[in-house]
Structure 1
């Protein structure tokens, strides 16, 4: 099963890129973040014509998540239970016995801000819920834009980013807490090229200069770790005209 995640930063703008990528790569599952579309505007017919079905949870202008799949999606759930939140950041579904959870974590704005505290609270709620999900669904994959670079090697210039969101110690601690649940970063299961990133700012020619961060991840449960054969970052879509500032991350598992 080929699993992929991609923050498209507006599905309306990036739909042609997404359709082309689906055709070229044929993933079994593609999790999208920042679709930035109300559910009534979601391009379901275009995806169905491409051979995919989808479940989605969106809102106008901001946030929005979706799971696109070749297989039937069952037990669909939106949001984090017992965490009231108007922001559409989480959607989960089961296909072929694998629980797929797609997340768009809060950015946090700046360390110490209200949005930063919301981010930490959101991660705490996510972790509590996932602990129960892993009991119900031992084969679980958590995909999405985590808005956390777990280690300094995931940051092009750790000193320049020191003290900022995405790299602060409390955020990284939340990532480690997810790993303590038994989830593993599939990208780090394998030897990877140095300076591997999934996001680059639109400014300062950041992509051309590879001034990026690795903040998009695929975490796998203990049952899925032994059957993961590879995990890669596909930089090609970031080279397109009017690209998202993120690019897809892809992992393959044998089930």
Structure 2
């Protein structure tokens, strides 16, 4: 009996030591990863190439935490000049400037835009998405960002860059002849499955995912974009009711009426 107790105790101790070792390894890996990204400025390539403008809507501490991981993955894989445009609430505004001041990145600029200045332009839209009305603010980028920003890569915070994105950036050249968006098709069946409780908003085929979006702001400003999205939203709200996927529902409904607005991005590099 004593021998059995001793063996049991020994097994438990071994298991605890193994767990502690694994935890230490995982923790050190995460720290190494973060530190590796933080020293990236010394490796960044200064160049005269065109600046890549990236926009994100960030509201709340949880979204800010996700954004930090996304930012590090971007900086790891993209070494050219970047200008980040953050549409934030007061909580995110408390964190992000301190973060960038700590990083001191070369060839990286950033601007902040107060989301409270724009919420009242979209809060009339009933919305069941977890992003609340912050997701709908993405419809206003042509007004929020400076006029000299002609095109922008819009990213949701719940994603991770895991490879070279230059091929994606090169797709901006395809946004011609009135095309406003470069998007990948939805890999889910959301828009093709009938929901007995909620009417699913219309979309072309399986619809398009707006989590990664190339946007032609210059072309958007040359048409009555605000009138277009407001009209489509009002018409579809009458029949389909509140949006379930925020801006994505409205943008997909716009494409149904204006298929020439969309450029299909290849889905080979996207995992949803």
Confirm or deny a common fold (TM above 0.5): no
- TM class, shorter-chain normalised? 0.3 to 0.5
State TM-score, norm by structure 1.
0.34
Find the structure with the greater CA-based Rg: 2
Structure 2 length as normaliser, TM-score? 0.32
